[in-house]
Structure 1
Amino acid sequence: MMRKLLMTLMALGIALVLAACGGDDESSDKDNGGGSDKNGQASEQQKKMPEPDLKDVPDVVAKVNGEEIKKKEFKSTYQSLFQRMAMQSQLTGQKLDQDKLKKQTAEGMVGNQLLIQEANDRDYSASDKDVDETLNDMAKQNGLESKDKLLSKLEEQGMKEKEVVSQIKTQVKVEKLISEESGDTEPTEEELQKAYDQWKSQQEKAKEGNKGEKEDGEEKKIASFDEKKSDLKSQLKTQKENKARQTLVEKLRKDADVTINL
């Protein structure tokens, strides 16, 4: 859960990493089993998760307009991303390039630092009400009854309430910045219909590929536009926010004094 909080703050970094490392090559491993070694050596190897390699990471990973990104925070973020990417590489059969992932993680953290600096420069604030709402949302997402239960769980994992509140205030300010930059993110009916048509087409292709496979003798029905609308609305809003976030990072990066030591 502590990582979940840190990951929320690292949303841009994750998006960049997943976009850059995402499976270009769906080919090899999905049809598990073809061409394995005798005695299932290949599948045995697949089960072994690689370890994150952090031995050459310097004490100061990067500087952003004079502010340091230290090894400790880099390590925490990298390990979270590494777990996700290692699982993905096992599914696709592609080898995980840790040097590349470290550089992408550092770039993501630089982007986040630029957003935090910009949010502070523009004097955004985070009220107690903002903090409470965010904590309650996080508690709900993690299946906990209240923000107090969440804070107690985080404390068990070594995060003091003061530190949690400080991170959430930063998160709230950055969200206000992104909200201002992205403007009206409400998708139009036309955008929703287009997204639904694309989704429906993918479902129909998948159905074709699985012809003959039925659950309890019944084919799974494809959700109607009205049934899918709420999900699509939230996906499209997130896409617009992420695009605004990335555009702003690129703009800030041009004028920033950034050094990455990886």
Structure 2
Amino acid sequence: MSKKLLTSFALAGVLLGVAGCGDAPEEGADGAETENPADAEQGAEGDGGAEGEAGPEGEMPEPDTSDIPEVVAEVNGEELSGEEFTTLYENQFQQMAMQSQMSGEEVDEDALKEQSLESMIANELLIQDAEDAGFEAGEDDVEELLETTAETGGMESVEDLIQAYEEQGMSEEKLREDAHDQVLIDQRLEDLDVEEPSEEELRDYYDEASAQQAPEGAEGEEAEMPEFEEVRDELEQELTTQKQNEAAQAHVEDLREDADVETHL
């Protein structure tokens, strides 16, 4: 299962976001997202905070974190810190601010804070669920994720990733803790029962894509949709990811219903 399948579950997003803050090419959390989640599901309508309003042309807005408490939520007795929330929120805000510059719409800070908080809650629920189910994240698993994260961020080594993380004021220990948690989440989501797309579903998916095909190509010529067999593998991968997303979202919703969650934001 793709590590970016739920872009709102942003542990990996934070890691990759930090990776992009170094000298590496500025790719999003999903190598483009940001997926993201991504993929960005955050609304860009409404009024932002006093510090989040667009400044002079070319100047990036700053997020308002003045109202973030020391503990933003408790999930089954586990506290979620305001410090970690701020890191996540600032990362998401930066991505949304870049999008808002292109769209001309202000970032809705209240909505983004709510989404960031729900991301943290979902992460904690999945981590607890993974541990309860007996999943473990070994050192090799953590190192593999860090190597993938560094590569996706355009870095040559994990050491470069650690340096970029430290330049953002976060320690190597925290980086590895985040990676450990992300491995647990990935393992739990990969264990979800997801049916493979049927031939009928793939045909329907292809027909929908064909119907949405632009009538003209870039040169004004009629755009041609490849034959089904030519794109079957790609369609199967996309539809499988879609099913995985839906299964993961449903699982988190089930965990949320049974959890003791108290928020303070």
Q: Secondary structure at the match of 2:40?
A: helix
Match of residue 74, structure 2, among 53, 63, 84: 63
Deviation sequence 1:70-119 (CA, Å, 0-9, x none): 11111111112112333344444444321122122212211111111111
Q: Work out the CA distance in 2 between the residues paired with 1:45 and 1:157.
A: 25
Q: What residue is the counterpart of 2:237 in the other structure? A: 234
In structure 2, the residue matched to 1:202 is 212
Report 1:12-91 matches (<5 A): 15=37, 18-19=40-41, 21=43, 47-91=58-102
1:4 is aligned to 16
Query: Which stretch shows the higher mean deviation, 91-100 or 148-157?
Result: 148-157
Number of residue pairs aligned between Structure 1 and Structure 2: 232
Q: Secondary structure at the match of 2:197?
A: coil
Instruction: Give the letter aligned to residue 239 of structure 1.
Output: Q
Task: Report deviation, 1:58.
Answer: 1.5
1:222 Cα offset (Å):
4.7
TM-score between the two structures when normalised by the length of structure 2: 0.70
Q: CA 1:126/1:255 → structure 2, altered by over 3 Å: closer, same or farther?
A: same
Q: Superposition pairs for residues 1-262 of structure 1, below 5 Å?
A: 3-4=15-16, 15=37, 18-19=40-41, 21=43, 47-181=58-192, 183-184=193-194, 186-205=196-215, 207=216, 214=219, 222-262=225-265
> Match of 1:51, SS?
coil
The alpha-carbon distance between structure 1 residues 48 and 126, as it changes in their structure 2 partners (threshold 3 A), is same
Matched to 1:141, the amino acid is: T
TM-score (ref. length: structure 1): 0.71
C-alpha distance 243-51 of structure 1, shift in aligned 2 (>3 A): same
Q: What is the DSSP-based 3-state SS (H/G/I as helix, E as strand, rest coil) of the residue aligned with 2:74?
A: strand
Supply the AA of the counterpart residue of 2:16.
K
Normalized per residue, which structure has more helix? 1
Kept in 1, the 8 Å contact 2:135–2:184? The answer is yes
Q: How well do the aligned residues superpose, as a CA RMSD in angstroms?
A: 3.6
Q: 1-side partners of 2:155 and 2:190: how far apart?
A: 28
The SS at the match of 1:79 is: helix
- The answer on whether the counterparts of 1:46 and 1:90 sit within 8 Å (CA) in structure 2 is no
8 Å contact from structure 1 (residues 140, 146) kept in 2: yes
Please tell me whether the aligned partners of residues 194 and 244 of structure 2 are also in contact (alpha carbons under 8 angstroms): no
In 1: Cα distance, 2:175 partner to 2:195 partner: 28
User: What 5-or-longer segments of structure 2 have no aligned partner?
Assistant: 1-12, 19-28, 46-54
